[in-house]
Amino acid sequence: MDIEIEIVGKGKAVAVLDERNPETAKKIYESLPVSADAISWLEEVYFDMPLQLEYENPSPKTQKGDLSYWPPGPAFCVFYGKSQPVSDVNNFGRITENLELFSKVEDGDKIVIKKL
């Protein structure tokens, strides 16, 4: 399952949803397209997600390029650097193209995510 993440006016990135949390990946994919306002925190970009999911295979850590879902938010998170989540997340995908785009994101930037 491939998706495109656009930061309106700044560029687009491509990601693939994986099997670390297959139900999370499937439900997020089925909810697309979605648009929201970006929030940046350290080396992470996230936004509120109108989809309430439970923990599936929670992890306290992420790797550079991970897409993660944070149930307490609920939030969709992109980890583009060394930042780590404040609490467990469901890691469900990875950025495969243009990860550096996320270092340019500012609070309030419009994000549009759609299926490829």
What is the reported pTM? 0.96
d(CA 114, CA 116): 7
User: Does residue 2 contact residue 112 with C-beta atoms inside 8 Å?
Assistant: no
Domain spans of the chain, in order of start: 2-115
Q: State pLDDT tens for residues 6-60.
A: 999 999 999 999 999 999 999 999 999 999 999 999 999 999 998 999 999 999 9
State the pLDDT at residue 71.
Answer: 98
State the pLDDT at residue 32.
Answer: 97
Say which CATH topology domain 2-115 has: Cyclophilin (2.40.100)
Find where tokens 């990601």 sit.
Answer: 15
